[in-house]
Structure 1
Amino acid sequence: MLVAFMLAVMACLPFACGCSGPAALVVNGRPIPSGEFNREVQRRLAVIKKKSPEELEGESGRRLEAETARQVATEMVKAEIMAQQASKLGVEVEPREVAAKLEQQQTKTGADQFAQDLESQGLTLEKYTDTLEQQVLVDDLGEKVTEEVTVTGDETESYFLTHKEQFSKPAAAHVAHILLESEVQAGIVADEIRRGVEFSTMAKNLSKDDATRANGGDMGWIEQGSMEPAFEQVAFTLQPGQSSAVVKTSDGYQVIKVLERREAYSPTFNEVKGEVIKAVESGKKEEKFADWLRTAYANAKVEVVAPGVGKWDPRMGMVVGP
């Protein structure tokens, strides 16, 4: 799928290459400075040394150092090729897109953990922001290159017939829950519900789950295989309208109520037509972007100036050993 493919490409683009100082690499006439190249190699080796210093010892350590240098060279070359192609196609990164990605990542991991992650990788906030900018560039460039991709009715129907299992729907349950810290309190709540107290009222008043408390504990539909076993065993055993005794999970102690159940089934084409179109479109875009990248890598004029690093292989799209 295109999104997964983009992520793979993004992993190779953590650089915003400058152009001052002696060159380590030259891409279509544009130099990438030795200082920038060497700093990135040393940063990665420092991370390895901190985590597993023994990996850098002896002959295997020397091979790892050489491989790290080739990897950095490959990624810098690819980043520069992408930047040049984006410029040709008029693709520009909006600062607000980068800021939004940064805020999203900080919110996801938490400010303290985010700072620790950067430190463990030897990254500054500025360098990490450059990485995000490259990710946005890849997203935008991919959309530009594949914007004319279309999907026909025959393609979608054919894809559905050969990938029916991809669109099968597992058993699912519409559930509500009450999350509590104490097993004793959870037991009291379960007893009260059995005596007729409204489940949603108890959830609103007592549940520790901020995400569902206001909705009476309603978690929506969960598919079989998406929750931990202790929770699922109850959720897919109870009948609609029934509530459970105390269930111990990794989150705490829970009381669960099943609102609706749906058995596993294989939908018709019309039921999942939108999903099929997206799958076919994503596959075609991924293929087109991959072909476009191969052409860009093959046509690039790359000189690896840094001694002992290797040479650019246009067919493989990477720096290989000397």
Structure 2
Amino acid sequence: MPASLSWPQTAVRLHELLQRATPRIKIVALIGSHTVVTDQEVREAVYQRLAEYRHLPGPLRAAKQQELYAAELRRIIERELLLADMQARLKKAGKLSAMEEIRDYAEKTADRALHQIRKAYGTESDEEFLNILRAQGLTLQIVRRQLIRQIMADEYARTLLKDRVRTPGFAEIRAYYEAHPDEFRTEDQVQWQHIFFSFARYPSEAAARQHAEQVRQLALQGVDFATLVQQHDQGLAAGNGGWGIGHRRGQIQPADLENVVWSLRPGEISEVITTSSGCHLLKVVERKYAGIRPFDGKLQDEIREKLLRHNRESEYSRLIAELWRTGGVQVVASPP
């Protein structure tokens, strides 16, 4: 090839020649002067997200695969930009040995992750694990490489962002709370326990009600209600951990119990309720009332974490935009 061609021009020319020769390796992007991204790596990243498209019909599946291909190509480019920047900074500081330390940490972390994946599959041999990967269109070499390089890039990004991400203060948290009341609006919710006494199990309705009254007295005396459910329930609650069905208005089952459930306070036990099929005994364990959540410590922590996550994502986007602008990125093939 002509000596006057730059590295990107050479790589593009090589890509064109390989395309004509039906190559086994297809280059889809160039980063800087030394890094290439191959079609196989991007495809294997997409295959790892099979759950997101395998249920879709033909055209929708193809469209989703193309969308994921573009997303994974961008993620891999971002990863390589971070790694290139890390190497350049360490080289300038005369600390390239730190790169090997980071790689060593990433390799050990990746191998632990692969061990857990293999364990989850229940494979007994290396060949069996490799066959499982092959069945999904994956290769161990590329999966391991992806893990290692992503761990390295994530660690580097975390280090860069550590001092750049601003932690929101109390005034900012309070301002967010006051500006977004709908975000903290809650519906009526209830957790309740239920014991059902079926008329079909007793010689008379009076006998069923008598039994229900006896159980109610035990509950009032402090006997654990969940234990009473397991001992006496003749409906669905005993098989559902003792819990009644439905947590929001309009969801309570049987519907005949709706008004009673919402009338009880936490810890309160109902009277015996008679319906067409039997008797019922209820206890409300927890109740959340409709309205705006109070600005307590728990909610402040949630808002702080949300704002911190937003700040982190914003700083990461700025960092990647700068690296993309200066990193010599060239996409040389469109998604399939």
- 2:268 paired with 1:264: no
Q: In structure 2, what is the Cα distance between the partners aligned to 1:82 and 1:137?
A: 9
Q: Deviations over 1:112-133 (max 9, x none)?
A: 9xx9xx8899244846666666
Q: CA deviation at 1:21?
A: 6.5
Map 1:259-298 → 2, pairs under 5 A: 259-271=285-297, 272-298=299-325
| Alpha-carbon distance between aligned partners in 2 of 1:119 and 1:277, rounded to the nearest angstrom | 41
Question: What's the CA shift for 1:81?
Answer: 2.0
Change (3 A) 1:161 1:300: same
CA deviation map 1:38-94 (0-9, x unaligned): 8659969x99899655679xxxx8x99988876664444233224434555866647
The alpha carbon displacement at 1:301 in A equals 1.0
Change (3 A) 1:144 1:168: farther
Question: Does the aligned pair in 2 maintain the 1:23–1:34 contact within 8 Å?
Answer: yes
Aligned twin of 2:276: none
User: Residues 25 and 32 of structure 1 are in contact (CA less than 8 Å); yes or no, is this contact kept in structure 2?
Assistant: yes
> Tell me, which stretches of 5 or more residues in structure 2 are unaligned?
1-23, 91-98, 124-128, 202-207, 220-224, 274-279
Q: Which residue of 2 aligns with 1:143?
A: 158
Question: Secondary structure at the residue paired with 1:150?
Answer: coil
Which letter maps to 2:251? P
Instruction: Give TM-score scaled by structure 1 length.
Output: 0.52
- 2:78 is aligned to 78
1:153-164 equivalences under 5 Å are 153-164=170-181
Query: Structure 2 length as normaliser, TM-score?
Result: 0.51
2: distance between equivalents of 1:202 and 1:37? 58
**1:172 counterpart = 2:189:** yes
Q: Aligned pair in 2 of structure 1 residues 267, 236: CA closer, same or farther (>3 Å)?
A: same
SS at match of 1:29: coil
Question: Percent same amino acid at aligned positions?
Answer: 13
Q: Which residue of 1 aligns with 2:30?
A: 26
User: Equivalent residue for 1:200?
Assistant: 226
- Taking structure 1 as reference, are residues 84 and 255 closer, same or farther at Cα in structure 2, changes over 3 Å only? farther
**How has the CA–CA distance of structure 1 residues 31 and 292 changed in structure 2, closer, same or farther, with 3 Å as cutoff?**
closer
Structure 1 residues 175, 191: closer, same or farther in 2, change over 3 A? farther
Of 281, 302, 309, 2:329 maps to 302
Q: Secondary structure at the match of 1:237?
A: helix
Corresponding residue of 1:36? 40
Equivalent in 229, 243, 251 of residue 251 of structure 2 = 229
Between the aligned partners of 2:284 and 2:176, the Cα distance in structure 1 is 35
Tell me, in whole angstroms, the C-alpha distance in 1 between the residues paired with 2:158 and 2:195: 43
Residue type matched to 1:77 in 2? I
8 Å contact from structure 2 (residues 30, 330) kept in 1: yes
Shift of 1:300: 1.3
CA RMSD, 1 decimal: 5.7
Rounded to whole Å, the distance in 2 between the matches of 1:94 and 1:155 is 40
TM-superposition CA deviations, 1:231-285 (whole Å, max 9, x none): 697595362434798xxxxxxxx99742232312324434533233223222222
* Structure 2 CA distance for partners of 1:192 and 1:54, relative to 1, 3 Å: same
Query: Which moved further from structure 2: 122-131 or 291-300?
Result: 122-131
1:174 and 1:261 in contact (8 A); partners too = yes
What is the letter of the counterpart of residue 304 of structure 2? I
Aligned CA distance change for structure 1 residues 229 and 304 (closer, same or farther; 3 Å): same
Using the TM superposition, give the Cα deviation of residue 200 of structure 1 relative to its aligned residue in structure 2, in angstroms: 1.5
Unaligned runs of 5+ in 1: 1-19, 246-253, 311-318
Contact 1:27 / 1:81 at 8 angstroms: preserved in 2? yes
Q: Which residue identity is paired with 1:302?
A: V
The answer to whether the 8 Å contact 1:27/1:77 transfers is yes
Contact 1:93 1:137 in 2 (8 A): yes
Instruction: Tell me which amino acid in the other structure corresponds to 2:320.
Output: L
In structure 1, how many angstroms separate the alpha carbons of the residues matched to 2:112 and 2:306?
29
What number of residue pairs does the alignment pair up?
257
Please state if 1:122 is matched with 2:129.
Answer: no
Q: Report how far residue 291 of structure 1 moved.
A: 1.2
Whether contact under 8 Å (2:192, 2:283) holds in the other structure is yes
Match of 2:6 in 1: none
Q: Is this contact kept in 2: 1:175–1:218, CA < 8 A?
A: yes
Which secondary structure state, in structure 2, belongs to the residue aligned with residue 156 of structure 1? Answer: helix
The whole-number CA distance in structure 2 between the counterparts of 1:70 and 1:40 is 13
